[in-house]
Amino acid sequence: MTVIQGENLTKSYGKILALDHLTFQIEENKLTGLIGRNGAGKTTLLKIIAGYLQPTQGEIKVFFQNPFNSLQVSANIIFIDNHMMFPPAFRLKDILSEVSRFYNNWDKKLAQRLFDYFSFNPKQRHSSLSKGNQSTFNMIIGLAAHCPLTIFDEPTSGMDSAVRKDFYRALLKDYLEYPRTIILSSHLLSEVEDILEDILLLREGTRCLHQSVLDLKEYALGLKGPKQRVIEGLEGKEILYSEEFAQGSLYAVIKNQGLTSQEFVKQEDLELLPVPLEDLCIYLTGNTKGGIDHVFKQ
């Protein structure tokens, strides 16, 4: 079942175009990573999906309905970001007690176990927590709610490395036990790629690609070696990125169009390399194919 369907979504803020005729769909019970550079339109898209914003043009359907001002859609969504606010008089234990009334699938035991694991003081107030601890507490709510559509927008902001690893592990374990549609927006693709099933990559408000992680790992190949040899090997190939990394040496990333190492066997001084997903997404969303090196060329 298709949970989210976006058709030609456009969102502008004055003269600034945040989303530009974006079309996509997200299926039920998928853990999807929403990836893109700052300003790519990730948060705007998530807020439209959650019903916080209306698109300037186009159509969005969540559970087959327009999510804006829809109580039925809102009852099945939780949106977690680092701007969540709670009544200042509420202590942390009060917040957990109250939010449980809003979510039919609330897992009280999971919330309490995570609360104890991260050593929160039940009498403390949300506003007095550090940024990292606020994110951790928000994460507990996002997981324990068990909403059919769960959205995490940069949920690890401020968390240290150990807590981020705990969050990703908790997310994956809970998702496997209680499958649901989860969207995770993150700049740290290298940290989350092992738990994601699909990646929706945005570039300047448009869809750059939307593929499974397994397919994306086969999307490109790296070619490294003497500059002239690499240039010869690139003939007829779609180049995604190139970089001179040493005197007379070249590294290039090409789209994998059924290529195999056999095509480069005759050139023994060439090295064929896998391309890390995080690097690939950077290359695909960059403004040039040579990166920062172009700044220093005379």
**Percent helix, strand and coil across the chain, each rounded to 5?**
35, 30, 35
Cβ(131)–Cβ(158) under 8 Å?
A: yes
Helices 161-177 + 131-144 axis angle, to 10:
10
pLDDT over 70 (residue 259): no
pLDDT digits (tens, 9 = 90+) for 8-46: 999 999 989 999 999 999 999 999 999 999 889 999 999
CATH top class, domain 2-216: alpha beta
Confidence of residue 296 (pLDDT cuts 50, 70, 90): low
The residue assigned the tokens 């790296």 is 222
H-run or E-run covering 43: helix 42-49
Residues 202, 149, 95: CA angle, nearest 5 degrees = 115
Q: Where are the alpha helices (DSSP H) in 118-263?
A: 131-144, 161-177, 189-192, 213-216, 227-233
Residue 91, burial from CB neighbour count under 10 angstroms (0-12, 13-18, 19+): middle
pLDDT at 77: 96
pLDDT over 60 (residue 260): no
Strands lying side by side in the sheet with 77-80: 77-80, 149-153, 181-185, 31-35, 198-203, 206-212
pLDDT digits (tens, 9 = 90+) for 212-244: 999 999 999 999 999 888 888 888 889 999 988
pLDDT at 244: 87
Which residues, in sequence order, are CB contacts of 150 under 8 Å at separation 6+? Answer: 77, 78, 80, 142, 143, 180, 181, 182, 183
pLDDT digits (tens, 9 = 90+) for 108-129: 999 999 999 999 999 999 999 9
Cα–chain center distance at 292: 24
pLDDT over 70 (residue 98): yes
What does the DSSP assignment read for 223-291?
Answer: EEEEHHHHHHHTTTS-EEEEEEEETTEEEEEEE-SS--GGGGTT-TT-EEEE--HHHHHHHHH-SSSSG
What is the rounded average pLDDT of the residues 189-201? 93
pLDDT over 70 (residue 53): yes
What is the spatial distance between Cα 146 and Cα 47, in angstroms, rounded to a whole number?
19
- Parse the chain into domains and list their residue ranges: 2-216, 220-274
Residue 61, burial from CB neighbour count under 10 angstroms (0-12, 13-18, 19+): middle
